[in-house]
Amino acid sequence: MEAVAQLKLTLVLFFVAVCLVLVPSTHARDVKYCDKKGNYAVKVRDVEISPYPVVSGKAATFNISASTDQAIDGGKVVIEVSYFGLHVHTEKIELSDETSCPIAAGNFVLSHTQTLPGYTPPGSYTLKMTMENDNNQVLACISFSFKISFGSLVSAT
């Protein structure tokens, strides 16, 4: 009887371990301001990436939690990505595509979802994000690192 209970416990632990490996996780990133002495109008609290690590060929969502003391009517977000220090991608996005505009004073979230091509090499990347208002004034500039892994060989049906 004791052997059966131990076998059940082993199977449960195995199942939990498999679920933890297969379920995509969300990971908060350490954020660095581009100018440590800069007094940005937008203060970034954290960045969450889901799934983490990012998987090539699959959608990844970057949620950037921030706050501001002033209303922001619109603007743009400039994203620059580097791979082992080499610039590989630049993208300009309307602020209204990432969050509801106008942004009222207080807390808000920028949310960007992107599917990387399946041939994106795995490794460590750095993302620099600059947020500008309609007058091209920099409201925030941050950078953070993240990892990309190859897509799974197991397909979902």
- How many domains does the structure of the chain reveal? 1
Domain span holding position 61: 25-149
pLDDT at 2: 59
Residue 2 lies in a domain: no
Residue 30 lies in a domain: yes
pLDDT at 21: 36
Q: What is the CATH number for 64?
A: 2.60.40.770
pTM of the model: 0.76
Burial label, 83 (beta-carbon count in 10 A; 0-12, 13-18, 19+):
middle
Residue 41 lies in a domain: yes
Residue 10 lies in a domain: no
- What's at 33, amino acid-wise? Y
pLDDT at 118: 84
> Which has the closest alpha carbon to 74: 141, 131, 143, 142?
131
Mark out the alpha helices in 46-153 (DSSP H runs): 95-98
pLDDT at 38: 83
Residue 123 lies in a domain: yes
Q: Please, are residues 42 and 31 in contact by the beta-carbon 8 Å criterion? A: no
Cβ-Cβ contacts under 8 Å for 53 (sequence gap 6 or more)? 27, 146, 147, 148, 149
Residue 71 lies in a domain: yes
Helix (H) or strand (E) holding 5: helix 2-22
Q: Please, are residues 75 and 130 in contact by the beta-carbon 8 Å criterion? A: no
CA distance 15 to 54: 24
Kindly give the confidence (pLDDT) of every residue in the chain, 157 residues in length, as a single tens digit, with 9 standing for 90 and above.
555 444 333 333 333 333 333 334 455 568 999 998 889 999 999 999 999 999 998 999 999 999 999 999 999 999 999 998 899 999 999 999 999 999 999 999 999 998 888 888 999 999 999 999 999 999 999 999 999 998 654 444 4
Residue 117 lies in a domain: yes
pLDDT at 150: 80
